[in-house]
Amino acid sequence: MNLVIIGTGMAGYTLAREVRKKDPLARITLITRDNGDSYSKPMLSNALAVGKSPEQLILSPAAKMAAQYDLQVLVQTQVTGIDRDRQQVLTDQGPVDYDQLVLAWGAEQLHLPTAGDGADQVVRVNQIHDYQLFRERLAKADRVAIIGPGLIGCEFANDLLHADKQVTVIGPDPWPLASLLPETAGRFVEQKLTAAGVQWQLGQTVARIDQAKAGFTLTLSDDQHLEVDLVLSAVGLRPNVDLASAAGLTVSRGIVVNPLGQTDDPRISALGDCAQYGERWLPYIMPIMHAARALAATLTGTPTDIVFPLMPVAVKTPAVPISLVPAPPGARWSFIEQDEGLVGRAKLDERTVGFVLLGPQTLRQSLVKELS
């Protein structure tokens, strides 16, 4: 088999490892536009807390991955298209033939159009290279604004406190993590992060970002001004679908795959942040691990459906550890206080359909069982 994987993120390398375990002879080529180093992306938002520099987050350089798993890794190579008739990936370094192709090319940070001459200096972190630039600029910054009070915004806010930065989180949402947490839980998180030092501008958007003598002046939707040295945007991700769509594959929010992980071309599969499993888009590590194992079996001759177990989301905010399973619309939440934390259950027709644990997490396993 001549397997080509586009992307050397968690999805690309996990799949390569799983295929290698099952087929020592497969020819496996990975293509990436970056330098191909393997790193733990989740650690980008808690590196300060654990005292790591960007360099220390690299788990294994590309050359070592290639040697260890007998891979060909084409680095600094931009994919520009897919020729399905010729079974070729088109790149800025020339075409690459495939028998089986896996799209593991991730997602991009959303860019919100914002007025002002400082708007193009907003930093977004979705790759280790972005993070290196962020840390360089952070070294000269005391006051940091984070746009986006979601999961990544809250994690970065908490992490920056470990570097003694003044942090203000801005967003239109009424409370932090509003798309994942009901109000009681969201307010609890807000309170704990406030006590740790985070400041909030909720119910607000950023209308302008202008360069100032030192740093930037942000103009908020209620006309308030905020002076900061650095602006980090964490407003969400958009799966990379354009090249798949140009190749005639079905895309919706992500690249749509069937239970085997295949697109509507059985020679092309998708995995990770760019993929959409039925109606579900799951930009997290656990789904990648489960899907990569099943896809590796399928690619090596044992068709295997991707089945996801219940996967609680853990939010890396040490000031208030959070573990949750989001509830469907219409669920009723109830809360109990426990050991200075909060336990919330979501019920629909007397059945537990979601939970949130704030603070002590000892109940997590029993609540997972309650949902099963």
- Kindly list the residues in this chain that would bind ligand FAD in the complex (CB under 6 A): 6-12, 31-34, 41-42, 44-45, 78-79, 104-106, 125-126, 152, 240, 272-273, 283-286, 316
Upper half-sphere CA count for residue 3 (Cβ side, 13 Å): 30
What letter represents residue 94's amino acid?
A: G
Report CA Rg, the chain.
Answer: 22
Nearer to ligand FAD by Cβ, of 197 and 283: the residue is: 283
Nearer to ligand FAD by Cβ, of 78 and 191: the residue is: 78
Nearest distance, CB of residue 287 and ligand FAD, angstroms: 8
Contact at 8 Å (CB) between 363 and 354? no
Nearer to ligand FAD by Cβ, of 16 and 218: the residue is: 16
CA pair distance 364, 179, nearest whole angstrom: 21
List for the chain the helix, strand, coil content (%; round to 5): 25, 30, 40
What letter represents residue 222's amino acid?
A: D
Nearest distance, CB of residue 273 and ligand FAD, angstroms: 4
CA dist list (Å): 82 to 4, 34, 103, 293, 315: 12, 19, 10, 25, 37
Nearest distance, CB of residue 79 and ligand FAD, angstroms: 4
Nearest distance, CB of residue 49 and ligand FAD, angstroms: 12
Nearest distance, CB of residue 223 and ligand FAD, angstroms: 31
Query: Six-digit token pair at 261?
Result: 């992980």
CA dist list (Å): 7 to 35, 42, 79, 224: 11, 17, 10, 42
Nearest distance, CB of residue 32 and ligand FAD, angstroms: 4
Nearer to ligand FAD by Cβ, of 17 and 347: the residue is: 17
Nearest distance, CB of residue 258 and ligand FAD, angstroms: 18
Task: Tell me the torsion sign for CA atoms 366, 346, 358, 283.
Answer: positive
CA pair distance 54, 257, nearest whole angstrom: 34
